[in-house]
Amino acid sequence: MSFQKLKPVLFFLGITALFAALSLAYFSPVLKGFELPQMDNTHAIGMAQELNEHEAATGESAHWTNSMFGGMPAYQIKGDSSANIFSKLNRFFRVGLPYHTAAILFLYLLGFYVLLRSMKTGRWLAILGAVAFAFGSYNIIIIIAGHITKAYAIALMGPVIAGILYTLNRNRWVGAFFTAVALGAHLAYNHVQITYYLFLLVLVLMISRFIYAWIDGHLSDFMKKAAVLVAAAVLAILPNLPHLLPTYEYGKFSIRGPSELESSSKEGETDAGLDRDYAFSWSYGKAETLTLLVPNVMGGASQAISQSPRAMKDVAPRFREVVGGQSQYWGSKPFTSGPVYVGALICFFFVLSLFFYKGREKWWLVAATVLSILLAWGKNLEWFNYFMFDVFPLYNKFRTVEMTLVIATFTIPLLSMLGLKKVLDNPALIREQSGKYLAAFGLTGGLALLLYLIPDFFFNFMSDQEVAALARQKQSMPNQAAAIDEIIRNMKSARIGLLKADAIRSFFFILLGSGSMWLYATNRLSKKYLLPGLALLVIIDLWAVDKRYLSGDDFVAPRQMNQQFQKSKADKEILQDRDAYYRVFSIYRNPFTEVGTSYYHKSIGGYHGAKLRIYQDVIDFYLQKNWQTLMGHFRNGGGPGEAEEMLADMPVLNMLNTKYIIYHPGQSPLMNPHNYGDAWFVNDVKTVSSAQEELAGLGNVDLQKTAILRQDRVGEWGSYQNAQKGGSISLTSYAPDHLKYEINAPGEKLTVFSDIYYPKGWNAYIDGEQVEIKRVNYTLRAIMVPVGEHKVEFRFEPQSVSTANTMAYAGGILVVIFGLYLIWIYRTKLFGKE
């Protein structure tokens, strides 16, 4: 291979090294061995601990865990990627950089650089665009939050679009292979919500290209290329089926699927998917969209005003304590980790592109940007978003609609670079159409300046919730009305100070960038200085804002990281119990949003965004009340003795084998003498006609003697009745996905197990013969055990997993064959003469 052919490869390796160095520079504490605490990563560790321990002990992956919510499939907690060729490729693409930090930023940079180079931009412009995309505040904030798979999925959006455009614009087969690999790598990170937004982006792109093909009379050629892309998508999906297929199957039974409770759907809502209020909780405010240009329009993150010295300067001394404790953020969301900021100069380039760029990529990028913003507004644009939620396929499966802004944070820098390329290639455009250039400056820099000069003309700097709360306070304490008004005035002054500081900051970045381009257009600044200068301005701008939310101060020593799951006194005492299988209910904090209990025990609670629907119903109707009742008892000075008596009237906790209650980590746990154990015989069956009756029956039926069974599931058990006493049930072996019992039944006995029912994978065997599992008590498993001594096993053997693994191996082989075929076809171009 000649040096001339090797030169682009060497330059690409140099760029790769530059991006790796930049990533390590931002996350420099990792070079000293420090680690970054990340909330969602901490959650993931707690959720997966039982699975990790099982794999370490046996070498086998379990697809079920009992560590939270009484038990649930583990597909979205810790998947088995051994059959997925793309998971192996992803390890290669990370080039050994730290997985939770620098590797993410590296792939942000590299992925967007590859996209821009595939669109024939120059190297410096591609570097500028990569920096603009990678350091957008949202992409950094999700790293500190621990949304690791989300970040990687976003990083690989660029290569996927690059492959699609290469297929449509240049070589369909090379483009299809690149698309298959990029999309496969993206899917391997298993963040379905980001994949869905990528699908929306691709949909807008393909509709745009279809229209152009129709106008140009090239519809046949477009359809052929579209068919090739569909085939590429299939190749990408096949190796990823081990997590996609079981997740799709599980989704029907999770809170993202339909509820059996007819009354659970509110008027005007669908009966499948998330609750509308829950899905739209994090809706971006319309005015909040200005954070794309000025980060602190709405105050920034939900942190105390006292943490910003700049804001506190505008607060009167006597109000500093009360105002300092208020949140900087005053937008429409419950709280936020920070704004979505794409960069002041990037916003200027984007508006500039609207005026000067006429290429075919313009309109799909504009349309996708607008769609992204409209969707992010959520409940703040009800007529549009409620329609999308109710009608558009699968849209109601996802929460946190502000996340759709990942599309805008992708399309804005991309269109910006395309427009910038147009102007750089033809600087006369700026001189000849100076009115448009000034308009772009006025719509961005001018707006930032107005926000600085007259901020209270645009906003009142108080959230609706704050206004309502303070109004109630004034009404209840009329003698303090004047003081409350002063507090409000000082809160507004502090928040105005935050906005003004960022508004003038954005103005000057736009002034410097636009001024540099004017000098270039008038032949007073060389291009070789302009692009590095613009790149420097962009990185200074974004780096400084990012450091507000993720800085070196956020890193801790490994010793501190290891203290995330310190054993409490209660944990240590519970772990002395040699019983293989029981559950723990932690009530001193919200048990349904924590994972500390799951790390050491089988928890009644837990943390997961897609728990089983039937378990969520039980939480809503019983467990939430049980928690509040018990915690209220202890907070009011009640003792363990009285609490023990209260547990007798909490049959749902007892049927779930809740053996211990942790009411204070520093105290001995409360042992529950009323729990029913691993399994128990019942005397008869109560049949009910609806899900509501079945759920209600848990509170008024003696569940130790009677099993509640819905009429449509009764079958041959309808006439069951056996009050014989005696017999025994003993758990002899425990694994998350394999339970063994020895049962001695006094006659044929209906046996209820304290395990969560899930129809897609659990099989029961009596003496090696498979028997039917029925769902009883709304959420538990039951089998009929014949008279006498028997060995009973429950095994989680989901057919979807074995089928998906087979198809994944086949898909991986097809990808390799496709790649080798292309190497053979283009061997001369790649390696020179034969």
Per-residue pLDDT reduced to its tens digit, 59-69: 888 999 999 99
pLDDT at 579 over 80: yes
> Among 171, 163, 392, which Cα is nearest to 279's?
392
Check pLDDT > 80 for residue 561: no
**What is the structure's pLDDT at 580?**
86
Does 562 have pLDDT greater than 90?
Answer: no
What single-letter amino acid sits at 394?
Answer: L
User: Is residue 584 a contact partner of residue 595, using CB atoms and an 8 Å limit?
Assistant: no
More confident position, 571 or 44: 571
The strand pairing partners of 374, in sequence order, are none
Percent of the chain with pLDDT over 70: 97
Query: Lowest mean pLDDT: which of 18-27, 129-138, 484-493, 687-696?
Result: 484-493
| Local confidence band at 262 (pLDDT 50, 70, 90 cut-offs) | low
Average pLDDT value for residue range 509-531: 94
**pLDDT attached to residue 267:** 34
Instruction: Identify the pLDDT of residue 565.
Output: 86
Per-residue pLDDT tens over the stretch 340-376? 999 999 999 999 999 999 999 999 999 999 999 999 9
List Cβ neighbours of 347 (8 Å cut-off, separation of 6 or more): 292, 293, 412, 444, 510
Strand order in the sheet with 728-735: 728-735, 738-745, 788-796, 762-766, 769-771
Model pLDDT, residue 95: 94
- Categorize the per-residue pLDDT at 271 as very low, low, confident or very high, splitting at 50, 70 and 90: very low
pLDDT of residue 452: 96
The stretch 50-77 carries a mean pLDDT of 91
pLDDT at 826: 85
Q: What is the pLDDT of residue 832?
A: 66
Q: For position 477, what pLDDT does the model report? A: 84
pLDDT of residue 2: 60
| Contact predicate 612/258, CB 8 Å | no
Is 704 in contact with 713 (CB distance < 8 Å)?
A: no
Mean predicted confidence (pLDDT) in 679-683: 96
> Which pLDDT band, with edges at 50, 70 and 90, does 264 fall under?
very low
The single-letter DSSP state of residue 327 is B
Question: What is the average pLDDT across 770-795?
Answer: 96
Residue 378 has pLDDT above 50, yes or no: yes
Identify the weakest region by mean pLDDT among 82-91, 306-315, 804-813: 306-315
Report helix, strand and coil shares of the chain as percent, to nearest 5. 60, 10, 30
For residues 607 and 400, give the distance between their C-alpha atoms in angstroms, rounded to a whole number: 16
pLDDT tens-digit map of 138-182: 999 999 998 999 999 999 999 999 999 999 999 999 999 999 999
- Burial level of 170, CB count in 10 A (0-12/13-18/19+)? exposed
Q: How far apart are the first and last CA of the chain?
A: 11
Question: How would residue 268 be classed by pLDDT, with cut points 50, 70 and 90?
Answer: very low
User: Residue 47, Cα to own-chain centre: how many angstroms?
Assistant: 15
**Model pLDDT, residue 5:** 67
Token pair, residue 223, equals: 């359809």
Residue 270: predicted pLDDT: 39
Is residue 139 within 8 Å of 108, Cβ to Cβ?
yes
What pLDDT, on the 0 to 100 scale, is given for residue 718? 83
pLDDT digits (tens, 9 = 90+) for 603-638: 999 988 889 999 999 999 999 999 999 999 999 999
Mean pLDDT of the chain: 92
Q: Which range is most confident: 20-24, 309-313, 590-594?
A: 20-24
Residue 463 is classified by DSSP as: -
Judged against a pLDDT cut of 50, whether residue 712 lies above it is answered with: yes
pLDDT band at 266 (very low <50, low <70, confident <90, very high): very low
Number of DSSP helices (H) and strands (E) in the chain, helices first: 36, 16
Q: φ, ψ for residue 542 (rounded to 5)?
A: -70, -40
CA distance 69 to 296: 39
Taking alpha carbons only, the member of 254, 520, 498 closest to residue 399 is: 254
Mean pLDDT to the nearest integer, 256-269: 59
Of 477 and 128, which is predicted with more confidence? 128
Give the separation between CA 370 and CA 379, rounded to whole angstroms: 16
User: For residues 128 and 41, which has the higher predicted lDDT (pLDDT)?
Assistant: 128
- Identify the three-state secondary structure at position 818: helix
Ranges of H-type helices in 27-101: 39-58, 85-93
